[in-house]
Amino acid sequence: MSMDQMCVATYRCYDDKADFDKKALGIAVGLTVGSWTELPEARKAEMEKHLGKVVSVTVHESKTGAAGERYADIRIAYPEINFSRDIPALLVTVFGKLSMDGKIKLLDLDFSPNFVSAFPGPKFGIEGVRELLGVQDRPLLMSIFKSVIGHDLEGLREQFYRQALGGVDLIKDDEILFENPLTPLEKRVETCMEAARLAERETGQKLLYAVNLTGPTANLAANAKRAIAAGANALLFNVLAYGYDALHMLSSDPEINVPIAAHPALAGAFYPSPHYGIAAPLLLGKLMRLAGADLVLFPSPYGSVVMPKEENLAVQAALIDPALPVKASMPVPSAGIHPGLVPLILRDFGQQVVVNAGGGIHGHPQGTAAGGQAFRQAILAALEGTSLPEYASRPGNEALQAAIQLWGFKE
Amino acid sequence: MSMDQMCVATYRCYDDKADFDKKALGIAVGLTVGSWTELPEARKAEMEKHLGKVVSVTVHESKTGAAGERYADIRIAYPEINFSRDIPALLVTVFGKLSMDGKIKLLDLDFSPNFVSAFPGPKFGIEGVRELLGVQDRPLLMSIFKSVIGHDLEGLREQFYRQALGGVDLIKDDEILFENPLTPLEKRVETCMEAARLAERETGQKLLYAVNLTGPTANLAANAKRAIAAGANALLFNVLAYGYDALHMLSSDPEINVPIAAHPALAGAFYPSPHYGIAAPLLLGKLMRLAGADLVLFPSPYGSVVMPKEENLAVQAALIDPALPVKASMPVPSAGIHPGLVPLILRDFGQQVVVNAGGGIHGHPQGTAAGGQAFRQAILAALEGTSLPEYASRPGNEALQAAIQLWGFKE
């Protein structure tokens, strides 16, 4: 079996005294053909193509002192012939039973060309989203609804309009807004898209509204199509609550022809432990992209929902890595973002990024619309390399001035 | 809002110095109405019914010494009016964003009567599975296929037949056997059910074959129906790879009229960390049952895939707790089980349990059929309160004799 026909899983495995080479071999055999050494030679010839292979075992002996723990990074290649070309099958194969076998974390997956060819990936990706918006030359700006539970359509319309007036490119539903009698899906879409059209007359700017796609698994595709028929031009989806395959199902449906933004809800149940779970760059990066997310929200390094910066950057890298033969997903680092952080965000993430804010827009002293404007001004400042205070002092940039007075800034 | 109309989440939250009461209030407000104190009084009256409530905060100050960590168990009630009656909506509400907010683990969920009424629960449950098998008076015995990847239908038939001859009640597919050209779903079902009928002539005993239900989310129900049309009388399902709602969809489909066994694949990505994730009794107990699993496999306290015994028993307790108004799910503690452990298993779990073995059946010195027989003999011994060595010494119980010679026993 050529390595080209195998998917490779990378694990980090902690153990004070294990023989990691033996453990790796146990995984490679145990999760594929089950047993090997006792097979008759003739049978081995037949079974060879199903046998997992140990690619590498890198042992890190414990450092002196209490902090050090002995661990190994283990790479195992699994023949693609053993599983169907879907994410549940791959995850169950490489981390089904193994996830329960001691201190072990799934760090990464490399897909075989044949496996990956079953995934169309994001329909729009970074370029497609930019084309829809007609914005090529600057980072995008996304605004998050503030409180929406218990609000009626009129309240939603007003909040949407104020956000849109600020010049944001995308507005996303709160991920905890579900089907409800006050703002049911289609009415919500119609109301918000109408507010978007009104605002466009003022701003001259297009806008995507990512409405939260919820409900039973069996109705997701139909709900998406209902939303689209009502005018929705983007969807928000809590991927991990439904499984990656549900996202794959939606993204590969030709009738669901709008960008899908993946929300990281529940991700903290998987990635933060050093010893267990699935690493963020795989969980929120590679697998979200493979499953077809056009935009992916993930914790920013700036807010209270903290992820170490190197992990943030690794999520971003996975979303845009040219080695994966599907479109790149737009990175959306989220939480704790105010206009004063924009130069830092652009330095950390480059221009292929969505600057995403909730409190940093709604909490602006001059109101929500000024909040969006302050961000747009901060983006322009950063792009021309002007310091925020200097840019803010120019006439017309009072919104940015007020923002950095309130929240400060980082250069 | 009465507590009867709220779902309550219990969290364990670690922090050296946090004001846990403040944190709890932040959760109750932040994950429901968003903000509260700044609302005008008239608005508060309208929003009250959407507002989360802090039920309790129990702070455990850190013990002296390095091992102790300061933590609090926090219970928050969420108005059911805020989310739709499905598990993704509930999980995203109570642990979507919050899962990423520091060291916090979701321990438990209590459902409101109205929420739970949307879930028919297991179609068969413990009683229904027993009725199908016609076995009321003893624990059930399940056998796991050994290696199946790379085997053809003839190999599968032979292995199935030998397991069935041993007198097992259920045989489950390997959870890593997917749709494949050697043993495609319908052929596999036909072949194994034919072997079951042949064995029944010898044993006089009924048998359930849980065939692994796999493939794209959108095809799961159709695949289940194909399997049933081909003769399948049970299904195995890797619930966590697809999300609980997929299980709910299958279990509430009237045409899927066979028991569903939930496999815990990927569970180790959620439950083992003390600081993050979802506790096993909720993950593998309460939610599996609510979503409709008739049988639930979970790590036993006896094998290499270890879970502390109190956690095992808490999973079992959640599967059979009479407080949840749906049928009880049959507990299937799995891994590391040989006939010598049967008295211990019955003491730990009682009689409403499936004794589930792989290596403990296939590894029997006299072969697979003798492996099953040894378990059945051990079960009879335990039920009549006879020690295993004594029971094994009686004529006809040579299979048990050989098993305890190889693996030992615990009384």
- Into how many domains does chain B fold? 2
**Could you tell me the residue range of the domain that residue A89 belongs to?**
3-116
Specify the pLDDT at position A66: 52
Q: B89 and B173 share a domain?
A: no
Whether the per-residue pLDDT at A292 is higher than 90: the answer is yes
Structure tokens at A12: 């980090």
Q: A176 and A92 share a domain?
A: no
Residue B299 has phi, psi (to 5 degrees) of -60, 135
Q: A162 and A104 share a domain?
A: no
Render the burial of B28-56: b for 16+ CB within 10 Å, e for the rest: bbbbbbbebeebeeeeeeebeebbbbbbe
Q: Give the domain CATH number at A188.
A: 3.20.20.110
Q: B91 and B132 share a domain?
A: no
B1 touches chain A (CB under 8 A): no
CB-based contact A241 B304, cutoff 8 Å: no
Task: Find residues 47-66 of chain B whose CB sits inside 8 Å of chain A.
Answer: 47, 49-50, 66
Of B31, B148, B180, the CB nearest to A176: B31
* Residue after which a domain boundary falls, among A74, A98, A116: A116
Q: Confidence class of residue A401 from pLDDT cuts 50, 70 and 90? A: very high
CB-based contact A265 B35, cutoff 8 Å: no
CB-based contact A249 B218, cutoff 8 Å: yes
Specify the pairing of strand B103-110 against strand B277-278: parallel
Sign of CA dihedral B225, B231, B234, B235: negative
CA A134 to chain centre: 23
B267 touches chain A (CB under 8 A): yes
Q: B266 and B365 share a domain?
A: yes
Sign of CA dihedral B323, B329, B335, B337: positive
Rounded to an integer, the average pLDDT of A282-306 is: 92
B246 touches chain A (CB under 8 A): yes
Can you state the angle between helices A185-203 and A220-229, rounded to 10 degrees? 40
* Residue after which a domain boundary falls, among A58, A81, A116: A116
Q: A329 and A276 share a domain?
A: yes
Catalytic residue among B22, B44, B63, B97: B97
Q: A51 and A92 share a domain?
A: yes
Q: Give the domain CATH number at B88.
A: 3.30.70.150
Q: Which of B97, B185, B315 best tests the A interface by mutation, with the highest count of A CBs <10 A?
A: B97
Tell me which residue of A128, A161, A131 sits closest to A143, measured CA to CA. A161
Render the burial of B165-192: b for 16+ CB within 10 Å, e for the rest: bbbbbbbbbbbbbbbbebbebeebbebb
Q: A103 and A149 share a domain?
A: no
Of A86, A273, A275, the CB nearest to B216: A86
ipTM field: 0.97
Q: Confidence class of residue A284 from pLDDT cuts 50, 70 and 90? A: very high
Residue B47: its chain A contacts at CB < 8 A? 150
CB-based contact A269 B264, cutoff 8 Å: no
**Which tens digit of pLDDT belongs to each residue from A25-39?**
999 999 999 888 888
Residue A305: its chain B contacts at CB < 8 A? 97, 100-101
Q: Decide if A375 contacts A342 (C-beta within 8 A).
A: yes
Chain B: closest CA distance from residue A48 (Å): 9
Q: A312 and A403 share a domain?
A: yes
Q: A271 and A176 share a domain?
A: yes
Distance CA(B373)–CA(B227), nearest Å, equals 29
* Residue after which a domain boundary falls, among B58, B86, B116: B116
Separate counts of helices (H) and strands (E) for chain A = 18, 13
A272 touches chain B (CB under 8 A): yes
Specify the pLDDT at position B39: 85
% chain A with pLDDT above 90: 89
Chain B: closest CA distance from residue A379 (Å): 27
Q: B260 and B368 share a domain?
A: yes
Of B95, B242, B272, the CB nearest to A245: B242
Q: Please give chain B's pLDDT, 411 residues, in tens.
A: 688 999 999 999 999 999 999 999 999 999 999 888 888 888 899 899 999 999 999 999 876 555 578 999 999 999 999 999 999 999 999 999 999 999 999 999 999 999 999 999 999 999 999 999 999 999 999 999 987 899 999 999 999 999 999 999 999 999 999 999 999 999 999 999 999 999 999 999 999 999 999 999 999 999 999 999 999 999 999 999 999 999 999 999 999 999 999 999 999 999 999 999 999 999 999 999 999 999 999 999 887 766 888 999 999 999 999 999 999 999 999 988 999 999 999 999 999 999 999 999 999 999 999 999 999 999 999 999 999 999 999 999 999 999 999 999 987
Rounded to an integer, the average pLDDT of A291-295 is: 98
Q: Which of A176, A179, A250, A256 best tests the B interface by mutation, with the highest count of B CBs <10 A?
A: A176
Of B87, B180, B275, the CB nearest to A273: B275
CB-based contact A34 B82, cutoff 8 Å: no
Q: A90 and A182 share a domain?
A: no
